[in-house]
Chain A
């Protein structure tokens, strides 16, 4: 995974979150905690999963579904952008 791909993903995801998920006046950046402090309602992680899966072009294995992996946009990129390790997925 090239650093530039990661930065592109982070930039697109930050823009998408600020456009669709974050409440007015609470802009999110790459390292902003998404769910602590009530910036984003925790249930909206489902939309974040859908966005991430569309962006990376594959389904996220359910074994990797932990709130910690969606803590910040950079964390999402670190966990999900590299090809998934074998053996995690159920399918």
Chain B
């Protein structure tokens, strides 16, 4: 851990970024954090309650602008004081066209690397990536650079894979931290940020997911925000993680896909009204069969079902590309393993139902 000096943090205003910032400030780090944000006044106000926030400076910037949107004077000042960079800002929308995904995830990372390269003393760099840079690769996914060539399910995965390559080629002392799918805040199962995984669960509950990709050995690897944020803050800038690719994933504990579907079905069927609707568990199909299903929907179904199927198409194919993320090195360095999904999935499903997938809280 870089205990003094200045750390640049990107993505601090997101759910994960805020959690990382909180842990960086609490981890005995005596240094200061510069948070690159789009709206400094709003960000400063939102960070005010975090212990140690007097050591945070919110500076206006943008990954898509030249020089990260910092002025020459700001960059000059940073060049002299920067000791670490935690780069986790990303566009995580799976359906983005490739140029749009690259603009933030790949080109934005290039701009962060350019700033780091300009520093008097090259800073330690922690790059927060996704476990799914492995794309269409199946089997065990090593805690190492992915050679590419297997293809990707969406442009988010591809743009993050490209950014990882830039980090390894250009950063002096780097650590790549790949995160699995975050489905809830912590062991309480509370969900602050809803994502594609939650939307897929809703479609299943509503009986709109008649078919789902999946084969023998398919798993659903999920983690909590608390686990990922703690891992990034603890490992990202530590001396013994330089040059390592770490995977903050459930790994061997990932839920088998069929067990996950059963868990949800059992949970929801406690509700008599839901059980009376006789909603079947989605039929599992390989990718070829699922593609035929998608084409049939496109040709014959009503617009709402087409929209549902198109939305799923950007990530559900991963379910039929069984992979297990290796975590032995990460677990050893962290001194902890990711929480067992069975300890938080039931509470998360309760939370989703109670809040109607966030709509109750938003309406309040």
Residues of A within 8 A of B (CB): 20, 23, 41-47, 49-50, 53, 59-62, 64-65, 89-91
Contact across chains for B71 and A59 when beta carbons are under 8 A apart:
yes
Majority-rule SS of B interface residues = helix
Residue of A nearest to B56 (CB): A43
Contact A43 B34 (CB under 8 A): yes
Assess the A61–B73 pair: CB atoms within 8 A.
Answer: yes
Please report the C-alpha to C-alpha distance between residue A89 and residue B76 in the assembled complex, in whole angstroms. 12
Indicate with 1 or 0, residue by residue over B31-74, a CB within 8 angstroms of chain A CB atoms: 01110000010001000000000110111100000000001111
What is the distance, in angstroms, from B204's C-beta to the closest C-beta of chain A? 47
Question: How far, in whole Å, are A45 and B80 apart by their CA atoms in the complex?
Answer: 13
B5 shortest CB reach to chain A, Å: 10
Docked Cα-Cα span, A17 to B266, in Å, equals 58
| Residue among A20, A41, A43, A59 making CB contact with B73, cutoff 8 Å | A59
Asked whether B75 is an interface residue with its Cβ less than 8 Å from the other chain, the reply is: yes
B33, B59, B72, B73: residue with the most chain A Cβ atoms closer than 10 Å:
B73
Which residues of B, 6-53, contact A by the 8 Å Cβ criterion?
6, 32-34, 40, 44
Give the distance to chain A from B246, nearest Cβ to Cβ, in Å: 28
Contact of A49 among B32, B33, B74 (CB under 8 A): B74
Residues of B within 8 Å of A61, CB to CB, are: 72-73
What residues of chain B lie closer than 8 Å to A45, measured between beta carbons? 77
Q: How far is the CA of A46 from the CA of B59 in the complex (A)?
A: 7
Q: Tally A-B pairs: CB < 8 A.
A: 56
Chain B contact-residue range equals 20 to 34
- Whole-angstrom CA separation of A90 from B58 in the bound complex: 25
Q: Is the CB of A43 within 8 A of B74?
A: no
Contact surface of B with A, Cβ cutoff 8 Å: 6, 32-34, 40, 44, 54-55, 57-60, 71-78, 81
**Given the complex of chains A and B, what is the CA–CA distance between A20 and B58 in angstroms?**
11
| The one of A41, A47, A50, A60 that contacts B55, using a Cβ cutoff of 8 Å | A41
Given A43-B81, A50-B59, A61-B72; 20 other pairs, CB 8 A cutoff: A43-B6, A44-B57, A45-B77, A46-B34, A46-B57, A46-B77, A47-B57, A49-B73, A49-B74, A50-B74, A53-B73, A61-B73, A62-B72, A62-B76, A64-B73, A65-B73, A65-B76, A89-B72, A90-B72, A91-B72
- Rounded to whole angstroms, the CA-CA distance of A30 and B58 in the bound complex is 24
Alpha-carbon distance A91/B55, docked complex (angstroms): 31
Query: Complex formed: what's the CA distance from A20 to B62 in Å?
Result: 22
Question: Which residue on A lies nearest to B77, using beta carbons?
Answer: A65
Q: Which of A20, A41, A61, A65 has the most CB of B within 10 A?
A: A65
> How far, in Å, is A76 (CB) from chain B's closest CB?
12
* Complexed CA–CA distance, A50 and B78 (Å): 13
| 19 examples of A-B residue contacts, CB within 8 angstroms | A41-B57, A43-B6, A43-B32, A43-B33, A43-B34, A43-B55, A46-B74, A47-B57, A49-B77, A50-B40, A50-B59, A50-B60, A50-B71, A53-B71, A59-B72, A60-B71, A60-B73, A62-B73, A62-B75
